[in-house]
Amino acid sequence: MTLVDRACVVALIAAVGVASPLSTARAQSAEAEVLFRDGRKLIKGGKLAAGCDKLAASERLESSIGTLLNVGDCREKLGKLASAWAAFRKAEAMAKRAGGDDKRQAEAARRAAQLEPRLSNLVIEVPSGIEGLVIRRDGEVIDEALWNTALPIDPGSYTIAAEAPGYVAWSQSVPVGAAAKRQVVVVPGLERVPVAEPGPFATGASPDAQPGRLTSGSAVVTVERGTWSTTRKLAVAVAVVGAGAVGTGVYFGLHAKDLQDRADVRCPLTVCADAEGLRLNDQAQTSARRANILYIGGGATVATAVLMWLVGAPNETVVSPTAGDHRVGIAMTGRF
């Protein structure tokens, strides 16, 4: 019996309580042998996860019944029950095919049977009728034959993704607990990718054209993107404020005229000694000043709103304010 054989026997006596069924486990290739030995050393040193990875790498290089039994035992100790169960089942099948190894075959079957009631399962329910649909679990493609099937899986968090040509991709994170249970994730019906309709100037557009702008020679054509831009929405709000100010100015203007008419009745002449008439005249002047201020402020606010509306228009428009003696205006160039 080689040193490797002895190492396998000692390790698996602790794991399964049986020495003779596992006494011939060894790897044959140099690379697999080195990985196997390193894995056993790491496990003995308390580095269980690193040791398991070494054993698994050895098994991938050269699969053997003994290595699979060690991998299964290691994975079980790490709580990766589905991986352990798969290793034991693979060892059982390998021993059965080889023949003459009934003890290790029975041991692998026993260990797998013990784990089955404790396994967690993940079911990926997939809708039908989507051509070219691909389902992935943590980036790994899941064969279509495994859709809608309960699959043993190690505890952890998994990302389930679905994609198909012409459809919007979908993904969801699914937690799987350590307690034996059936976790189901339903892949929804995917939405089709929206297809933008071509604009009126789309045919023959220059490849250098900016988004929303098509060029033809030196001319620039701006494609309308809708009426209600953010600037235009703000312009409406400003216009409402301005209109309110103008309306309030109208009220004070009418009130000033009423007060002045009443003052003129009491004081028809320029010089007046009537106290009530003088008070009404003062009130009329105050209301008139308020009306003028509101007229000017409200008018300026409305003019600003108009300017904002034009500047925020989807079509390409150049707008500039103009001012002169006793007037305010707006100069515009472009198409509306």
Give residue-wise pLDDT tens across range 215-236: 444 444 444 455 677 888 888 8
Task: At 284, list the tokens.
Answer: 């009329």
Distance in angstroms (rounded) separating the CA atoms of residues 136 and 158: 10
Which residue reads 């209600």 in tokens? 228
3-state secondary structure the chain: CCHHHHHHHHHHHHHHCCCHHHCCCCCCCHHHHHHHHHHHHHHHCCCHHHHHHHHHHHHHHCCCHHHHHHHHHHHHHCCCHHHHHHHHHHHHHHHHHHCCCHHHHHHHHHHHHHHHHHCEEEEEECCCCCCCCEEEECCEECCHHHCCCCEEECCEEEEEEEECCCECCEEEEEEECCCCCEEEEECCCCCECCCCCCCCCCCCCCCCCCCCEEEECCEEEECCCCCCCHHHHHHHHHHHHHHHHHHHHHHHHHHHHHHHHHHHHHCCCCCCCCHHHHHHHHHHHHHHHHHHHHHHHHHHHHHHHHHHHHHCCCCCEEEEEEEECCEEEEEEEECC
pLDDT for res 160:
94
pLDDT tens figures, 73-130: 999 999 999 999 999 999 999 999 998 888 999 999 999 999 999 999 999 999 877 8
- pLDDT band at 28; cut points 50, 70, 90: low
Supply the pLDDT for residue 68. Answer: 94
- The mean pLDDT value for 260-274 works out to 76
Please give the average per-residue pLDDT across 21-39, as a whole number: 71
Q: What is the mean pLDDT of the chain?
A: 78
pLDDT number for residue 314: 63
pLDDT at residue number 261: 83
Q: Residue range 132-139: average pLDDT?
A: 93
Among residues 184, 15, 19, the alpha carbon closest in space to that of 114 is found at 15
CB-CB contact of 91 with 112 (8 Å): no
Report yes or no on whether pTM surpasses 0.85. Answer: no
Q: At residue 136, does pLDDT exceed 80?
A: yes
What is the distance of C-alpha 78 from the center of its chain? 33
CA distance 67 to 27: 7
pLDDT at 205 over 80: no
Question: Given this model, what pLDDT does residue 264 score?
Answer: 77
Mean pLDDT score, 39-43? 92
For the residues 284-306, what does the mean pLDDT come to? 86
Category of 320 on φ-ψ map: left (φ > 0), alpha (ψ -120 to 50) or beta: beta
Q: Which of 167, 175, 172 is nearest to 186 (CA)?
A: 172
